[in-house]
Amino acid sequence: MTQHHDETDPTKSPSDYEDAVEVARDIQPALNKLILIFQRTAEGSSLTTSQVSIMNQLRLRGPSRVSTIAQAELIRMPTASNALYQLERRGFVERHRDEEDRRGVLVALTQLGESELAIVSGQRAAALAEIMRWLEPEDLATAREMGAVISKLADVYRPTMDSE
């Protein structure tokens, strides 16, 4: 049973829930194992996965309000504020007044933050490459194609969150 995707209703998914459950059950054990392997391989990093995600968002989108960051990261405002505070203490982000709306504050990546993000992202890419190099070439090609699907999933999924 397949639902038709209604582009005007963000609460309607394009795929049937039961179909998604079947696929999720198939890949969930291996996905958990790979996440654990990746986390262990990336241990010792100077940044957490959440911090890397926030910094990548700032690198791609530019200066943003805390509320925008929280929404994009699928986290609550206090969680975003705390993560940004930790990054600010280390000099990786800075806050400044929004010139278009002086009541607002924007958070921006600093040069130090950009440098650290580049280093950590390189380390994580190398860690993932170490895992992926064990695939046969045709499986690696499939993984490349799956990268686009994984990126799309990360972009389109928006759970319902309780308001603060």
Q: Cα torsion for 106, 42, 144, 130, to the nearest 10°?
A: 150
Q: Is residue 9 part of a domain?
A: no
Q: What is the pLDDT along the chain (164 residues), one digit of tens a residue?
A: 444 445 556 567 888 999 999 999 999 999 999 888 888 877 778 898 899 999 999 999 999 999 999 999 999 999 999 999 999 999 999 999 988 887 889 999 999 999 999 999 998 898 889 889 999 999 999 999 999 999 998 888 877 554 33
Evaluate whether residue 10 is within a structural domain: no
Q: What is the pLDDT of residue 161?
A: 52
User: If residue 10 lies in a helix (H) or strand (E), which one and from where to where?
Assistant: none
- Give the domain range for residue 64: 37-156
Residue 104 lies in a domain: yes
Distances (CA, A) of 94 to 1, 75, 107: 49, 20, 6
Q: Assess if residue 94 is contained within a domain.
A: yes
> Tell me, what's the pLDDT at 68?
95
Domain total in the chain: 1
What's the CATH number where 121 sits?
A: 1.10.10.10
Q: Is residue 7 part of a domain?
A: no
Q: How confident is the model at residue 9, as a pLDDT?
A: 61
Instruction: Please report the sign of the dihedral spanned by the C-alpha atoms of residue 152, residue 83, residue 75, residue 59.
Output: negative
* 146 assigned to some structural domain: yes
**If you write DSSP's letter for every residue of 52-115 in order, what string do you get?**
HHHHHHHHHH-SB-HHHHHHHHT--HHHHHHHHHHHHHTTSEEEEE-SS-TT-EEEEE-HHHHH
Domain-embedded: residue 115: yes
Is residue 27 assigned to a domain?
Answer: no
